[in-house]
């Protein structure tokens, strides 16, 4: 089954105001740059965005924040974005902060068809307010629910026409579990090859989870925080 679409514009068809989007990446690593640029161009608004973080002011999801296209961010880390901070403190942006492991498991549970699970993370804090709690083996746990995204948008290193994906190194991050979770999953890849050209043992995400795939171009691949060691 050929799942290739021509470009980001074709891939993002059907994304509308008010939808919930799950967006892969960690920091600025492995983010779907082409799809984010297309969402900026489309001008869709009132988005609920599930992502580990919100990019930086002028890159990644920060571009959608600049245009005030995001209504709510569901994230685990947001410390690199000044515009995010401004919108949150002013009340312009709804924010749900989630422990990072819980965020990852809620994404995985969505793709696995698990409606909810218990975790000890966040018990006794604001994270647990309004949620069911239960004791297991003498330790209190919080009930966390799976997500319900309309679209999942991910970035892979290589993919084939059937939608099978390989992620490279750290860019694997949240991408594989989010790819499993969307009602419609969009995958943009650096290299698109015919079906059968990928080593089956190297595939991280099976094509059954992907509905649309395209080859992006011109990836900037910024480094969020460059740290180097001085030469001895």
At residue 232, does pLDDT exceed 80? no
pLDDT value, residue 229: 87
pTM of the model: 0.93
State the pairing for strand pair 165-166/151-160.
antiparallel
Share of the chain above pLDDT 90, in %: 86
Domains of the chain, each with CATH number or no CATH: 8-215 (3.40.1080.10)
Predicted confidence at residue 222, as pLDDT, reads 83
Nearest to residue 165, comparing CAs of 128, 126, 212? 212
Give me 1's structure tokens: 């089954």
Angle CA(51)–CA(57)–CA(61) in degrees, nearest 5?
A: 25
Q: How does pLDDT run across 141-154, given as a tens digit for each residue?
A: 999 999 999 999 99
Distance separating alpha carbons of residues 203 and 205, to the nearest angstrom: 6
Mean pLDDT, range 197-208, rounded to an integer = 97
Give pLDDT, residue 16: 97
pLDDT tens readout for residues 162-199: 999 999 999 999 999 999 999 999 999 999 999 999 99
Which pLDDT score, from 0 to 100, does residue 1 have?
80
- In percent, the amount of the chain with pLDDT more than 70 equals 100
């Amino acid at each position: 089954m050929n799942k290739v679409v021509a470009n980001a514009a074709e891939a993002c068809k059907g994304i509308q105001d008010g939808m919930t989007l799950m967006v892969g990446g960690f920091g600025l690593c492995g983010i779907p740059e082409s799809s984010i640029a297309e969402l900026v161009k489309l001008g869709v608004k009132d988005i609920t965005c599930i992502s580990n973080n919100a990019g930086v002011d002028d890159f990644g999801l920060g571009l959608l924040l600049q245009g005030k296209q995001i209504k709510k961010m569901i994230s685990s880390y947001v410390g690199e974005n000044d515009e995010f901070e401004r919108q949150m403190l002013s009340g312009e942006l709804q924010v749900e902060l989630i422990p990072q492991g819980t965020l990852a498991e809620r994404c995985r549970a969505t793709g696995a068809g698990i409606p909810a699970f218990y975790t000890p993370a966040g018990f006794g804090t604001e994270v647990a307010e309004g949620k069911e709690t239960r004791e297991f083996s003498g330790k209190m746990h919080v009930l966390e629910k799976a997500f319900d995204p309309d679209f999942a948008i991910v970035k892979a290193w290589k993919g084939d026409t059937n939608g099978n994906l390989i992620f490279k190194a750290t860019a694997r991050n949240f991408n594989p579990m989010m790819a499993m979770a969307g009602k419609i999953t969009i995958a943009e890849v650096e290299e698109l090859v015919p079906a059968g050209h990928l080593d089956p043992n190297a595939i991280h995400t099976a094509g059954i989870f992907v509905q649309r795939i395209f080859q992006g171009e011109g990836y900037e691949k910024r480094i969020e925080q460059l740290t180097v060691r001085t030469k001895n």
